[in-house]
Amino acid sequence: MPALETTTDALTPEQRAERGETLRRTGVVIRTYDLWKTYIMGDQEIHAVSGVDIEIKRGEYVAIMGPSGSGKSTLMNLIGCLDTPTKGLYYLNGKLASEMEDDELAGIRNKEIGFVFQTFNLLARSSALHNVELPLIYAGVNSEERIERARQTLRSVDLEARMDHKPNELSGGQRQRVAIARALVNRPSILLADEPTGALDTNTGTEIMALFERLHGEGNTIVLVTHEADIAAHAHRVIHIRDGKVERDETVVKAQSRK
């Protein structure tokens, strides 16, 4: 893969907007240019993300893999618009997210990104249906349509029959499927998952990975963050991160499935 261009300097606002338009038109959902996140700890600077250039296109299924402390979560928070970079440019769906203020960032996050976390992050006192409805409440969708869409999305992860159950009445794998339905219900541009199988046993983890494969087949763009090579191998491309930098970017060649 040819090295990506990293220039961020000396672009006029018009050139930046033009670049965003080109990215959007060519199906680039995520593009970072020399992205940095630096934390100051006392008199120390920690470069959690140090000069990352990545490009992810619509419909890709990408794993971001690296050892603990390599900067995966920090990068995911930047990509997910949960945090802003110290330096560099980040275009999400052609929009320059790295220049946005908090409220604008919250808006683009709700619209463009579905999050899946290791620990599910569901509301404990609410039913599966209500958990999946939540993003639609924030998006201002009316109650009737909300329930219909939440129900449909739960059906798409084979959980419609459990929609009245609360998280503690569901297995770990079922909870994660509720979280995946919640992430999908707004039809986001990307599904962003940070160690989604980290709290699950091996078999349940395999089931969740099979679900991601199916969702990818249905046209979803998936970015999966993991420290496990076995999990990363499910993706179709693996970006290896070390010390906050891209170490390697590889396309996974899938064996033809035999019938």
Residue 226 tokens, joined: 């993991």
What is the spatial distance between Cα 247 and Cα 133, in angstroms, rounded to a whole number? Answer: 39
In this structure, what are the phi and psi dihedrals at residue 65, rounded to the nearest 5 degrees?
-120, 145
Query: 220 contacts which partner out of ligand ADP, Mg ion, none, CB within 5 to 8 A by kind?
Result: none
Give min distance, CB of 73 to Mg ion, in A. 3
Q: Binding to Mg ion by residue 226, rule CB under 5 A?
A: no
Q: Binding to Mg ion by residue 73, rule CB under 5 A?
A: yes
Give min distance, CB of 89 to ligand ADP, in A. 20
For residue 36, what are the β-bridge partners?
50, 87
What is the spatial distance between Cα 36 and Cα 53, in angstroms, rounded to a whole number? Answer: 10
Length of the chain: 259
What is the spatial distance between Cα 235 and Cα 223, in angstroms, rounded to a whole number? Answer: 9
Please pick, from the candidates 23, 56, 65, 72, the single residue that binds ligand ADP as defined by CB under 6 A. 72
Give min distance, CB of 195 to Mg ion, in A. 7
Q: Binding to Mg ion by residue 197, rule CB under 5 A?
A: no
Q: Are 154 and 178 in contact (CB under 8 A)?
A: yes
What is the spatial distance between Cα 21 and Cα 242, in angstroms, rounded to a whole number? Answer: 31
Give min distance, CB of 41 to ligand ADP, in A. 5
Residues 156-215 close enough to bind ligand ADP by CB under 6 A: none
Q: Binding to ligand ADP by residue 69, rule CB under 6 A?
A: yes
Please pick, from the candidates 33, 34, 54, 71, the single residue that binds ligand ADP as defined by CB under 6 A. 71
Question: Nearer Cβ to Mg ion, position 70 or 153?
Answer: 70
**Interface residues toward Mg ion, by CB under 5 A:** 72-73
